[in-house]
Structures are given as structure tokens and as C-alpha cells.
Structure 1
Amino acid sequence: MVLDGLYADGPTIRLIKSYGWHYIIIAKDGNHGSLIEAVDELDKQGKVARFFKTDPETGIKYWYRFANDVPLNKSNPVEHVNVLDFVETDKKDDRHTWSWITDIPLTEKTIEALMKGGRCRWHIENQTFNTLKKQDYHLEHNYGHGEQHLATNLAYLTVLAFLVDQLQQLGSPEFQKALKERTRGVRIHLWELMKGYFQTWLIKTWEGLFDAIISRPVAGIVPYDSS
């Protein structure tokens, strides 16, 4: 489970572990002050490890600080986690910092894979939400609210439609070609083409629809009587 910092608490961690799952959860300084203090205290005792790396091709510098078996917070000293701090310094000397907690043991061999796993959460989340909100699926934040169940059902239907499109993108060569070559990967353009064909053509198969989109059949000219 790769989660936002809102879930870095004892009840959530115990629930995850009860299913036999592992977790990587963001831990921000502002929300987890006591956790950072505990790591700093272990650092003073020489119980925190560090690892440095420079990418020879890009010149980007990576700095890791990690410790295992750290109390999650003062109110829950029984729950222990492993903590990874990561700092990336680019060629312009701009620093970007991340921190995570996990139950996966941290060593020099595991920290890089764990860092990549933690960072991909935002990448996946951002791409998914961006697609659902801006690529004509019309997902809105207010779908999560409402006195009855309409908003929730609209959200479910939207995500189901997105799932079907993802399956087609993974398994249908025709869909892949129509999306990539005809609309340059922009879904909203593909939806517009599909709606246009449905409104003007008799569509008997999905293959026929995508083939029409890919092959760009010549449009008819509407005659104009100037008399």
C-alpha cells in the first residue's frame, strides 16, 4: 500500500498489517514532528545510516538517511516503523525532500527501490486524477458528497468507464492505434471523433469504428443549392 501522509497513523498501519500487506506512507515534518524528533535522537546516538549517490549521466545527487524500528509517535510508542528520508539535488542545486515510513526493512540494498515506490504514488495519482478530470470523463470532487447515493454512483460509473478504456488501451491494437496515431494520445480528441462517427455512421462493430477513425474515410460534401 502506497499512501498519503493522512494515513500515517497506528490504526491504519495495524489494519494494513492485519491483511499481511506492506506499506509505504508519506511522513511530512509538519504532521509527524515527534517521529522526526525520534529519528534525530537516534541520529545523535549513531543509530541512523546514510547513503550518498550521484548519477554519472545527469549529475543529480541523491542523499538518503534511514533508520529502522522508530516509535511512530509519542502517543503510540508501541507502534514502531522504519523511516526513510530522501533528498534530491538537481543540476541547478534545487533541493527536493521526501520522507516515508514503512514496515519493509531498510538497508542500502532496499532504499532505492523503496524510494521509487514512494515517489510513484504521486505520479500515478496525479496522472489518474488529471485524466479523469480533464480528459472528458467529467469526474468532479463533489461526486463524493450528497445526501443520497447519486453522487457516489456517478463516481463509480465514471471509474468503471475509465477501467474499460484502460483495458482497451492495454489489449486492443485498434484502440491503441486510434489513440496514438489519430489523436496523438489525447483522449478527449478520440471521444469527439467517436461521438461524431456514432452520430453520422451505422456502427456495427468496435473494430469497424476504430478502423474508420484510423483510416480517416473521406467525408461527403453537403450540396448547396444556390438557386
Structure 2
Amino acid sequence: MIVSSPRFRCLQDSLQLPKMFRQGSFVLTLVVGMVACLPQPQNLPKSPEVAAIPKPNAKAPQGIVKKIGVKVNNPASLQDLERRISKLEAVMKLEGRIKVVGNKMIATSGKEMDFAASNSTCSGVGGQIVAPMNEAENAAVLHFVKIFNRYPYIGLREGVVPGKFNYMNGAPAVYTRWNKGEPSGKGTEGCVEMYTDGQWNDKACNQNRLTICEL
């Protein structure tokens, strides 16, 4: 009996596949031919589209962003984040340690300099010599004092009135931790240092002290 159906003819044709198939296995050739001769389904439903990967929203990772105290949920906060990241980059130039207290980042390179050189170093990375304004900030500075076992300068200078100290911008100090009997220089010690117990002492500005910056 001669079978002449279209599917059979298709199978016959498939047996004429290139030799690289037929030499490997007749069974493989036959299977390939059968698959090729199967009726092809029409109007197949479209494959479901893969959902597009959502773009990052305004919520930043909770690592470094959380540590530096920024909630990124609007353009203004994004600008604030960029500003703080710039500060972090500046701090990295110090190649030292960092402590974050409130909105302040306090860092040191571990180097000792006189007041003018310390001020220049801090200004060079966009900051200034650290000037604690509360107990928490004073404790952060004391942390470095204990690590390096060195007195640091505080960002205060004596004003025109002997014994009255101001911040670097000229504003009067709102927080102090003077050691008992200090300040005692009465115009001869225009800078301030911190002891290893966190208390302050007025000191001449030409001494080498640990440089600690705030940004």
C-alpha cells in the first residue's frame, strides 16, 4: 500500500536530512523529522511580557544614608544627600576615623599641628576645627583624644575681652567645658585645648595639638 498523505511525504523528506544528522543516529533523524512534520499551532497566545524592572525610587539604601541621617523622599533631600556625600568624600581625604553626631561629622587624621595649620587642614576639606556645642559632641571629640592620647585644639578663639572665647565665625560660645580655674590666660592664651578627661583649657596657639575637624 502506498501512503501518500502530506504528513507521510513530509516524513519522507525529513529522512533526506544532511548526513551529519543521519550518521549520528537513525532514531535521532526520525525524531527530528517527526517533530518537523507536526502540525504547527496557529494563533498562539503571546507570551506574557516580563514586567519591566522598576526604576529606583526615592528611597535610598539604609546603610550609609541612615548613618549620616538623611531621609531621601524629595528633591530637596536628594540635594542634601549629595551635599553630605561630598562631605564624606572630603573626610576620606583625611584618611582618619569618623564619628557622626547629629548633623556633624567629626574626623581626625591623627596628625598634630599648631592651631593655624589645623585650621587650614580642616578648611581644605570643607570644614573647620571641631567646636563642641553640647555634651554629645564633646564626647565624640573625647573619643579621639583617648584613642590618640593627645590633646586637640577646640574651634574657639579668645575675643577682644580677655577670657571670653568665640567660635571661628565670631559668635560667642554657647557651650563650654572649662577645667576648674580656666580660662586663666587672661589674653596670653588665645586658643583652647581639650584634656584627656574632656575638660577644656586655654592654651597658646603655637603648640602642636591633635587636629580634629567637623564637617
Q: What TM-score do the two structures reach when normalised by structure 2?
A: 0.24
Q: What TM-score do the two structures reach when normalised by structure 1?
A: 0.23
Q: Find the structure with the greater CA-based Rg.
A: 2
Q: Give 1 or 2: higher helix fraction.
A: 1
